[in-house]
Amino acid sequence: MPQFDADRDAMLARAHDAGIDAIIAIGSGTGPGSLDCGIQLANREKAGEPRIYATVGIHPHEAKLATDADFDELSGLARNPKVIAWGEIGLDYFYDHSPREVQRAVFLKQLELARAAKLPVVIHCRPSADSQNAWDECLGILAEQWGSSQIGGVLHCFTGLMEHARKALDMGFMISFAGNVTFPKAQNIRDAARELPLDRMFIETDSPFLAPVPHRGKRNEPAFVAEVARQVAELRGLATEEVAFQTAQNVYRFFKLPSASNAEMPIPAPSRGVAE
Ligand SMILES: [Zn+2]
């Protein structure tokens, strides 16, 4: 994203200093024309920076710009070994930057391409205000078009209800929590972050968006994922380090990546007996 053009090196150094071992760079970028942006970042491989993996995909915001040539380009990019998932794809009925029927068509097309590429999907789903419309449609499409692939995926930046999370878990999905889990009004997100099985959860930043408290309103960056870990740990009565370790292991396991060479399981804090 251009939000990091001025200080991308320093941002990645801060991520490393914050204890981040690996980053998944979402490659949606600004849409067609920059579909390889995640791969470019992943190709850095600089000492003193986290490992970087990439995704490719056209975000629902840019669905109206997608052409057959873009889909061909994505299928080619998906063969790059740094690419571990296809996304963000899905439905955004909150902003409606693209017509809904176009969003649905581009979502369906990319599910087909992701299946051919055997890549898990990273799902972006946001309903209209005071509605669950996009959740119902998105999960319906996944059940019809994706569940049988057995490849699974990630509900990124989860904002839904427990029933949505459970449907996704049943289809082999992981549930990922972003900075908005710290927002005062986001009680439904905190409920899900407290109740879902810890071994099915990821944490993320959604950089440059959704900076967690106490950075809210500023540009978000990977180092701030520590605040997401802190919030999830507090909700579950665990040490922050334990949530950080377990969610990182979940990522390595799900995407079949090597885990950090220096990773050690921290000593678990006493649990409050959260049912899993
Ligand atoms: Zn998103």
Q: How confident is the model at residue 53 (pLDDT cuts 50, 70, 90)?
A: very high
- Percent helix, strand, coil in the chain, to 5, is 45, 15, 40
The single-letter code of the amino acid at 59 is H
Read off the pLDDT band of 270 (50, 70, 90).
very low
CB 158 within 8 A of CB 232: no
Separation of 176 CA from ligand 1 center, angstroms? 11
In this structure, the number of other CB atoms found within 10 A of the CB of residue 55 comes to 28
Q: Residue 264: what pLDDT? A: 57
Q: Cα(94) to centroid of ligand 1, in Å?
A: 12
State the pLDDT at residue 262.
Answer: 55
Position 88 scores a pLDDT of 98
Task: Check whether 268 has a pLDDT greater than 80.
Answer: no
Structure letter (DSSP) for residue 242: H
Q: What is the pLDDT of residue 267?
A: 52
The residue among 268 and 78 whose pLDDT is bigger is 78
- Please give the distance, rounded to the nearest whole angstrom, from the Cα atom of residue 74 to the centre of ligand 1: 18
Could you give the residue ranges of the DSSP H alpha helices within 196-239?
225-236
Taking a C-beta distance cutoff of 8 angstroms, is the pair 31, 37 a contact? no
What's the 157 CA to ligand 1 centre distance in angstroms? 6
Residues with CB under 5 A from ligand 1 (ion): 88, 124
Q: How confident is the model at residue 260 (pLDDT cuts 50, 70, 90)?
A: confident
Q: pLDDT over 70 for what percent of the chain?
A: 94
- Tell me the H-state helices in the chain: 8-17, 37-42, 68-77, 100-117, 133-145, 162-170, 187-195, 225-236, 240-254
Provide the pLDDT for residue 266. 56
Burial of 265 (0-12, 13-18, 19+ CB in 10 A): exposed
Tell me: pLDDT of 274 over 70.
no
271 Cα to the center of ligand 1, angstroms: 32
Q: What is the pLDDT of residue 174?
A: 98
Distance CA 226, CA 203 (A): 9
Q: Is the pLDDT of residue 275 over 70?
A: no
Ligand 1 centre distance from Cα of residue 259 (Å)? 25
Q: Span 223-243, mean pLDDT?
A: 97
In angstroms, what is the C-alpha Rg of the chain?
Answer: 18
Contacts of 72 by beta carbon, 8 Å cutoff, 6+ apart: none
Phi, psi values for residue 202, rounded to 5°: -115, 160
Give the pLDDT of residue 162.
95
pLDDT tens digits, one per residue of 86-109 = 999 999 999 999 999 999 999 999
Mean pLDDT throughout 168-183?
97
Report DSSP state, residue 172. T
Hey, what are 171's tokens?
């289809």
The percent of residues in the chain predicted with pLDDT above 90, rounded, is 91
The pLDDT value recorded for residue 116 is 98
Q: How would you class 30 by CB atoms within 10 Å of its CB: exposed for 0-12, middle for 13-18, buried for 19 or more?
A: middle
- Residue 259 is predicted with a pLDDT of 86
Length of the chain (residues): 276
Whole-number Cα distances in Å, 174 to 75, 125, 193, 198: 24, 14, 12, 10
- Residue type at position 130: D
Average pLDDT, the chain: 94
> What is the rounded CA–CA span in Å between residue 168 and residue 107?
17
- As given in the structure block, the two tokens for residue 134 are 């996009």
- Asked if residue 271 has pLDDT above 50, the reply is no
Quick: pLDDT tens for 178-206: 999 999 999 999 999 999 999 999 999 99
How many Å lie between the centroid of ligand 1 and the Cα of residue 156?
6
How sure is the predictor about 265, in pLDDT bands with cuts at 50, 70 and 90? low
Residue 52 has pLDDT above 70, yes or no: yes
CA 165/CA 197 separation, integer angstroms: 11
- Contact status, residue 206 vs residue 220, Cβ threshold 8 Å: yes
